[in-house]
Amino acid sequence: MPLLVMKFGGTSVADLDRIANAAEKVKREVDRGYDVIVIVSAMSGKTNELVGWVEQTSPLFDAREYDAVVSSGENVTAGLMALRLQEMDVPARSWQGWQVPLQTTSAHSSARIEDIPRANLDRKFAEGMKVAVVAGFQGVSPEGRITTLGRGGSDTTAVAFAAAFEAERCDIYTDVDGVYTTDPRIEDKARKLEKIAFEEMLELASLGAKVLQTRSVELAMRYKVRLRVLSSFEDNDDNAGTLVCAEEDIVESNVVAGVAYSRDEAKMTLISVADRPGIAAAIFGPLSEAGVNVDMIVQNISEEGRTDMTFSCPVDQVARAERAMNGARDKGEIQFSELVADTDVAKVSVVGIGMRSHAGVAARMFAALSQEGINIKVITTSEIKISVLIDRKYMELAVQALHDTFELDKAA
Ligand code: ASP
Ligand code: MG
């Protein structure tokens, strides 16, 4: 029997009406001859509420109990979805992570999936179950404790099931109708993409296009799971939404696929550090130990054996970064004259696999920004991405200018 994975996010199961609406979509696929594994999120807002309850009860909480509480939102929606399907005469039952079992590492609140043995679900499918409704976001550790996969983790649950059960496709139903060239709230000419390559989606996901958890895209890329992002509030035809797929499956694409942004960045500069072997390790080691997510790094040309080191990180990690750097200085591991934090910056990036074979993307990008009078503070590039840090107040303007310059409103 061909098999589909269908994942419904929090807004798609936010109340009983929406669960019924999602169940209709599942039934349609069953009627077309598919066995279906449905992955559900908690009702929207529920997980936040549960996290709040844990924090209020125990500020330095036991991570195992955090997972026990926070995973429970998905148990409710899984059971309700199974009941709804049964009401529609679809043979369905719910599965919590441990029942499958979805086996994970013991890293509570950010566990990784180790294995999904197929036997239990396969047996039930063979006995006539048509739909397995699985609680997303949760699993079980080798110690037998409940784990969760990190916020947004039910996307990753869905892709992992699609890989393990060799699903024809993994459909991610959400509150938007696909992946856009940029955020339509910033640029009204933003266009929905028909297809996007895994690598592009990975860059866009990690750059803050919040449609999919980054881990889920990594997993899809590794196991070549065809992922489709589509709206649960529309009647979809077979070509609805955006297909996230291998590069080979995309015939024509623009050089730049999309413009991404991340609003809450900070730029930190260590002034006058010694330019000696080991200095980068001495700086970024303590930062990583302190849990600072360093993104861009630039080291200036050295003068008389001293140099400036600049890095960016999320703005809410500035205090942590300062503490780490001052601590390293107190221990004599590094020296610097000053640590300057610029907390009013944003990152804007253009992403596209076409950049590998087309020169001049950077030049066009910088020209467009200069035409708007936007000063670039830091630049980094990779094979398929160019990112700049700019003053936050110009972020929207920069996104619009780049969308225009690369004519992203037009399909290739
Ligand atoms: N309910 C979890 C969260 O809100 C997991 C998910 O929805 O993907 O993060
Ligand atoms: Mg999500």
Kindly give the confidence (pLDDT) of every residue in the chain, 412 residues in length, as a single tens digit, with 9 standing for 90 and above.
Answer: 899 999 999 999 999 999 999 999 999 999 999 999 999 999 999 999 999 999 999 999 999 999 999 999 999 999 999 999 999 999 999 999 999 999 999 999 999 999 999 999 999 999 999 999 999 999 999 999 999 999 999 999 999 999 999 999 999 999 888 999 999 999 999 999 999 999 999 988 766 667 899 999 999 999 999 999 999 998 888 789 999 999 988 887 889 999 999 999 999 999 999 999 999 999 999 999 999 999 999 998 888 899 999 999 999 999 999 999 999 999 999 999 999 999 999 999 999 999 998 889 999 999 999 999 999 999 999 999 999 999 999 999 999 999 999 999 998 7
Q: How far is CA 93 from CA 90, 230, 332, in A?
A: 10, 24, 61
Residue 156 Cβ inside 6 Å of ligand 1? The answer reads no
Centre of ligand 1 from the C-alpha of residue 14, in Å: 12
Ligand 1: which residue has its CA nearest to atom 8? 152
Centre of ligand 1 from the C-alpha of residue 40, in Å: 9
Residue 137 Cβ inside 6 Å of ligand 1? The answer reads yes
The pairs formed by 148-152 with CB atoms below 8 angstroms and a separation of 24 or more are: 148/67, 148/70, 148/71, 148/108, 148/109, 148/110, 148/111, 149/104, 149/110, 149/111, 149/112, 149/113, 149/215, 150/109, 150/110, 150/111, 150/213, 150/215, 151/47, 151/213, 152/210, 152/212, 152/213, 152/216
Question: pTM for this one?
Answer: 0.87
Residue 40 Cβ inside 6 Å of ligand 1? The answer reads no
Which candidate, 342, 301, 354, 297, places its Cα nearest to that of 318?
342
Centre of ligand 1 from the C-alpha of residue 49, in Å: 12
Q: What is the pLDDT of residue 251?
A: 82
Q: What is the C-alpha to C-alpha distance for residues 285 and 283, in angstroms, rounded to an integer?
A: 6
Nearest ligand 1 atom to the CA of 154 is 8
Nearest ligand 1 atom to the CA of 44 is 4
Partnered with residue 310 across adjacent β-strands are: 269, 298
Q: What is the pLDDT of residue 208?
A: 61
Ligand 1: which residue has its CA nearest to atom 5? 152
Q: What is the pLDDT of residue 230?
A: 94
Centre of ligand 2 from the C-alpha of residue 119, in Å: 28
Which candidate, 181, 171, 188, 191, places its Cα nearest to that of 231?
171
Nearest ligand 1 atom to the CA of 153 is 8
Residue 179 near residue 165 (C-beta atoms within 8 A): no
